[in-house]
A and B are shown apart, each in its own frame.
Chain A
Amino acid sequence: MNSTRDDDTLLEVTRFFFEELMPLAKKLQDEGKAFFSVKPNPNAQTYYKKREKTIMHPESFEVVGCDSFDSFEEALIDMWTSQGYSELTKLAPTLLKLAKSLYFVEEQSEDISPFIYVMF
C-alpha cells in the first residue's frame, strides 16, 4: 500500500461521509426517521423483537454481495429496498467505489487492530 493511494482513499472516504452520508442522515432525521431506538421506552411491555427469519434454510447460507464487486452494489440496493429504506440505495454506487479503493488496504502491523473495536 503506498501513501498516495492511502491519501486518495482517505479523501474519498471523507468526501463520502460528509457530502453524501451526513446530508442524507440529516434529511432522514428531519423527517423523523430513525434506524433504531437510542433510549429505553418505559411504556414498552418488552424489548424482545420477533425475528422474521427464525431458521437458516440452505439458501440463506448463500450471501450475495460478498462474492464479488459485480454483485455488491446490487446486493446493497436489494437489502435496503427490502428493508423499506429506499433512500439509502443511492449510496450504493459510491460504496462500491469505496470498497474497490479500500480493498485489502488493511495492514496488520498496527499496534491495535481496528477489528478489536466493538463496532466491527
Chain B
Amino acid sequence: MSTTILGISAFYHDSAAAIIRDGEIIAAAQEERFSRKKHDPRFPHHAINYCLEEAFIESSELDAVVFYDNPLFTWDRVLKNCMMAGPRSFDQFKKASRSVLGIKMWVKDYIIRSIGSLGKLDKLLFTEHHMSHAASAFYPSPFQKAAIITLDGVGEWATTTIGLGTDNRIELFQEINYPHSLGLLYSAFTYYCGFKVNSGEYKLMGLAPYGEPIYYDAIRENLIDIKEDGSYNLNTEYFGYLDSSVMTNDKFNNLFGGSPRKPESYITRREMDMAASIQKTLEEVILRMALHTKKETGADNLVMAGGVALNCVANGKVLKKGIFDDFWIQPAASDAGGAVGAALLVSHAYFDIPRKINPNGRDTQRGSYLGPAYKPSEVVAFLGRKGYPYERIANPQQLAEKIAQVIADGKIVGYFAGRMEFGPRALGARSILGDPRRRETQSVMNLKIKFRESFRPFAPSVLAEDVSEFFEMESESPYMLLVAPVRKERCLPMNLRKFQEGDDNMSAVITQSRSDIPAVTHVDYSARVQTVHPSDKPDYYHVIKKFKDLTGYGIIVNTSFNVRGEPIVCSPQDAYRCFMRTEMDLLVLEDCLLWKEEQPAFEDTEDWRKTYELD
C-alpha cells in the first residue's frame, strides 16, 4: 500500500500543487503555467488536476491533503499588525479581511469544490509556513543531516528560521518574526527602484553590479540593526507595509533623496547604487547567519528555502566562504515550493514514512522536471491539426547535433522538451537557447526575444564536467541558484571610464565584450550558472555536448521560454504562440523542428503586451 499526499500552496503569491507518494515527489506545478497569469495567487485548480492526473489517482484515493500554512495564525498577525499601526491601517484591514477572513481561512471549502474530496482522512491538514519551506529544502536534499535556514517576506509570523534536519526529523529552534524581515527589506528597495514587489527582486539583484554601495551606511544606520550572529531588526518607521499597500513611506524617500522611481522610467545611478547597497547588506546578514547556524548546529551541510534563497549572488558568497562543506537550495524556494514541502512534511512527520536519500549522492528533486510533458505523438497531432510545417528528427543524437549547429550559427532556438520545470528558472525543458560566444546574443535576446530591460544578464548552461573550465567553481549548480566568477583568464578588460565618470547609460557597458563568453558574463564578470548532468536531462546535455563538439565550448545561453511578464510556456500551443510573437529562429517541440520563415502568417488575436502585465 502506498501513501499519497497532495500539497497545496495558495492565496499569497505563486500558488502551486504537488503530489508526493511514499516520500517521493511525483509531480509539482505552479498555477501560473496553466492560467497564464504570472505569479497567479489564486486557488490552483489546474495545477491540482495536473498533479492528480500525473499520479493516476482520484482525489478520494489521496491519503491526505495539506495546506502549506496556518491561516489562523496569519489572521492573528493581520489583526495585531493593524492594532499596532492604528487607524491608518484601515485600507489594509479591509483588504486583509476579505482575503484572509473571507477566503484563505476556508481553503478547505475551495478544495472540496475543486476536487470533491479531502481524501481518506476526510480532513484538511495544515503546516506552518516556514516548516513547509524547511521541509522543501531538507527532504529532497542529498543530506542525511543538514542545517536549515529559511528566509522570506513573511509566513504567519516568522520571517526567518534556523534549524536542523536529521533523517525524518525537522527541528526549527530559532526565529525572527514580523515586522522584521529581510525579504520585506529587499522588497522595499525593489519597490523604491521601480520594480514589482515579489517579482522584480531578481532585477534588483542583476542591477546591483552596476552600482556602488554608497547607501550602505545609511541603511545600516537607519533601517536595520544587524547583530554579530546575523540576527536583525528593522526600524519600521521607514516602511509602508505596516499601514499601507506600498512598501516605503516619506521617511524612507527622504532618506534616499526623493520619490521612488516610476516603473519603466529611465534607470539612473541612484537605482544602481541603491541596488548595490541593499545587496551588500543582504549578503552581510546571510553570511553572518550562516556562520551562526553552523555554530548552533555543527552540521557539515546547509539547506535553504524561502524567497530570499533565490538570491543566487548571496548564495554564491556563502558557498565561496566555505562555512559548510556542501549546500542545497530548493529550486522552487518561494511559496510555490511550500506545496512540495508541506506534502513531504506530512509524509515524514505525520505518516512516518522513512525518508529515502538518493544512493548516488544526488538530490531527489529530479532535476525539478516535475511538470507536464507532451509526447512526440501529441506534438505531431497538434502540428498536423494546425497545419504548421515542421521537420521531424526521431534520432536523438541527430536532433541534438542539428540544434547545436543552429545555435553555433548564431540563431536563437526555442527549446521545448520533456517535463516542465517546477520553480522560477528554466532548466532546459522550456528554454530559449543561444550562443554565449557572440557579443550580440545578450542584446538580441533581451530586446527582440524577451522584450525586457537590456541590463539584465543571461545565464549559462554548462556541462557539469566543464564547469571549472569556465568558472571559478568546483561544485554543481543544477538549479541555477549559484553565481560564480568567470575564470580570470577568460575575462577581457572593459572601458568603464565614461560610466564611472557619471554617464548613467548602461548600454555603454552592456555592449562591451567582457570575456570570451560575453553573452553570459555580467558586468562584474560573474555568471548565474546551471550545470547540466547527463542523468538529470540527457537530451539537453547532448545538445550542449554537440555544441562543444562543434565549437570547443561546452556551454550555451539559457533563458526562460517566455516574453516579459508572461509565465514560462507550458504547452506546445503556448510555445508556438511565444515563438511566433518573437524573433526566435527555430522552435524545437520534442523531436519536431519548426523554422520561423516556413510558418504561415500568425494571426494574433490578442495584444500580448496588454495580456501580460509587465513584471
Which of A48, A61, A102 makes the CB contact (< 8 A) with B101?
Answer: A102
B41 touches A115 (CB 8 A): yes
Give every chain A residue within 8 A of B173 (Cβ-Cβ). 50-51, 54
A62-B83 contact given A55-B169, A104-B102, A120-B78, CB 8 Å threshold: no
Once the chains bind, are A49 and B105 in contact (CB under 8 Å)?
Answer: no
- Chain A 13-42 against B: per-residue CB contact (8 Å), 1 yes, 0 no? 110011001101100100000111111111
Instruction: Choose from B102, B169, B178, B350 the contact partner of A103 (Cβ within 8 Å).
Output: B102
B-side contacts of A66, CB under 8 Å: 70-72, 105-108, 124, 126
Determine how close the nearest CB of chain A comes to the CB of B173; give it in whole angstroms: 5
A114 touches B99 (CB 8 A): yes
Chain A residue with Cβ nearest B135:
A56
Do B345 and A56 touch (CB < 8 A)?
Answer: yes
Interface: B247 (CB within 8 A): yes
User: Which residues of chain A have C-beta atoms less than 8 A from B451's C-beta?
Assistant: none
| Contact B105–A116 (Cβ < 8 Å) | no
Q: Contacts A49-B174, A55-B171, A55-B349 given: A119-B126 contact, CB under 8 Å?
A: no
Interface size class of B (residues with CB under 8 A): 35 or more
Counting CB contacts under 8 A, is B468 at the interface?
A: no
**Beta-carbon contact of A50 and B99 below 8 Å:** no
A49 surroundings in chain B (CB, below 8 A): 174-177
Chain A contact residues: over half helix, strand or loop, or mixed? loop
Measured in the bound complex, the distance between the Cα atoms of B72 and A75 in whole Å is 8
Cβ of A98 and Cβ of B84 under 8 Å apart? no
Assess the B93–A116 pair: CB atoms within 8 A.
no
Residues on B with beta carbons closer than 8 Å to the beta carbon of A88: 79
Closest CB in chain B relative to A70 CB, distance in Å: 13
1/0 contact string of B151-183 vs chain A (CB within 8 Å): 001100000011100000111111111111000
CB distance from B339 to the nearest CB of A (A): 15
A7 within 8 A of B: no
Give me the interface of B with A, judged by CB distance under 8 Å: 11-13, 39, 41-42, 66, 70-74, 76, 78-84, 86-87, 90, 92-109, 123-128, 131, 153-154, 161-163, 169-180, 184, 187, 197-198, 224-225, 227, 229, 231-237, 241-242, 245, 247, 292, 345-346, 349-350, 613
8 A-B residue pairs with Cβ-Cβ distance under 8 Å, sorted by A, are A36-B179, A38-B84, A38-B236, A50-B173, A50-B174, A65-B105, A98-B101, A115-B41
